[in-house]
Amino acid sequence: MSWMNIVYMNNLEPKVKDPYIPDRMVSAKSANQPFLAHREYRERQEALHLEWIAKGEPVAPLPRDPTQPTEVGVLGLFKFLVYLTVFLALTGKFITGSYTWEYETRWVQLKTFWPSDQRLFSETTLAEFNGENDRPTFLAIDGDVYDVSKGKSYQPGGSYHFMVGRDAARAFGTGCFQTHRTHDLRGLSQQEYEVHGLVGRACNTGNSFSQIIKTIVKVGRVSHPPINPASPIPEHCDAKKQAKIDEANREAAKRAAAAAS
């Protein structure tokens, strides 16, 4: 179809006033109907609005304008989020028995946001918090004391109960949980320092290190007596690693002697 035929066909279609531009006629073809219908709707709503205002009822609170479009707004969004949170919590309680769907981290514990007064422990006092005689279960890493009472493995009879009541920072770096239950970090390798640092950050940020790290809460600090630098460094529980440490120490001593001569 040529452009002349298109112009001719357009001229044959009925014309109506453009609802948006005065003194302009537009085709009433089907493609324009949504725009024309919307304009008619707006005019009807405006007429209803003016009619409602013209009633002028000065007494009592004004009724809601029935022509006013309903908007969600910030308050509506907030109410929706509150209802959704309550619904999810109740659903979790019904399905899993937990309002948090068994998701337990320090961020869903009130103690994280309203911490209790933290205290300073001596090593003797810290040793008393071993989960026995209805006492809570505490352990320390790098001087920071954490409540691990929710961890079953740290309770009496648990596989990690031997770690509680003390600062076993060295053991978390070396993996020697039986012999390195001390805060003495001298002689750790770079890799052991990195592992030790990961554990410390996991405790402070709530990142998952083990099943218990997710739920611990810091409760204070432990005061350690100074470590005598002349005291022997704890030996590694792995004989091969200890042999490498001894070899590295001998090499370091040789280099120091050569530098001094």
Identify the CATH number of the domain in which residue 131 sits. Answer: 3.10.120.10
Per-residue model confidence (pLDDT) at position 245: 78
Q: Which residue has the higher pLDDT, 226 or 2?
A: 226
Q: Is the pLDDT of residue 253 over 70?
A: yes
Q: How many domains does the chain have?
A: 3
Judged by DSSP in three states, 140 sits in strand
Question: 216: closest CA among 113, 145, 121?
Answer: 145
Is 234 found in the same domain as 166?
Answer: yes
Residues 98 and 193 in one domain: no
The residue segments making up the domain with residue 84 are 71-103
> Is 178 buried (19+), middle (13-18) or exposed (0-12) by CB count in 10 A?
exposed
CB 162 within 8 A of CB 177: yes
Instruction: Please indicate whether residue 114 or residue 127 has the higher confidence score (pLDDT).
Output: 127
Q: Is 237 inside a domain boundary? A: yes
Residue 63 inside a domain? The answer is no
Q: With a cut of 50, say whether residue 3 has pLDDT above it.
A: no
More confident of the two residues 129 and 188? 129
Please tell me the distance from the alpha carbon of residue 45 to that of residue 242, in angstroms, as a whole number. 87
**Percentage of the chain with pLDDT > 90?**
4
Q: What's the mean pLDDT in 92-118?
A: 67
More confidently predicted of 58 and 222? 222
Same domain, 114 and 239: yes
| Whether 145 and 225 share a structural domain | yes
Most confident of 38-42, 94-98, 101-105, 180-184: 180-184
Cβ(146)–Cβ(109) below 8 Å = no
* 209 domain residue, yes or no: yes
More confident residue, 103 or 246: 246
**The pLDDT value given to residue 60:** 55
Does 175 map to a domain?
Answer: yes
Lowest mean pLDDT among 2-16, 146-160, 220-234: 2-16
pLDDT tens-digit series, residues 165-208: 988 888 887 888 888 888 888 877 777 776 655 455 545 544 43
Distance from CA of residue 251 to its chain's centroid? 47
**What's the confidence (pLDDT) of residue 205?**
45
25 and 83 fall within a common domain:
no
CA distance 70 to 81: 18
- pLDDT value, residue 129: 92
**Domain identity same for 238 and 192:** yes
pLDDT at position 23 over 50: yes
Q: Is residue 255 part of a domain?
A: no
Q: Report the distance separating Cα 176 and Cα 168, nearest Å.
A: 10
* Same domain assignment for residues 141 and 180: yes
Residue 209: its pLDDT value, please? 42
The whole-chain average pLDDT of the chain stands at: 75
3-state SS class at 251: helix
Lowest average pLDDT, out of 116-120, 136-140, 152-156, goes to 116-120
pLDDT in tens, 33-91: 777 777 788 888 888 878 877 776 554 566 676 666 666 677 778 888 999 989 988 88
Q: Are residues 48 and 76 in the same domain?
A: no
Residues 51 and 123 occupy one common structural domain: no
SS3 readout for 66-135: CCCCCCCHHHHHHHHHHHHHHHHHHHHHHHHCCCCCCCCCHHHCHHHHCCCCCEEEEHHHHHCCECCCCC
191 in a structural domain? yes
Q: Is residue 257 part of a domain?
A: no
Closest CA to 102 of 110, 114, 94: 94
Residues 112 and 198 in one domain: yes
Q: What pLDDT score was predicted for residue 57?
A: 57
Is residue 75 in some structural domain? yes
Q: Are residues 79 and 165 in the same domain?
A: no
Rounded distance between C-alpha atoms, residue 164 and residue 9, angstroms: 91
Q: Do residue 217 and residue 146 come from a single domain?
A: yes
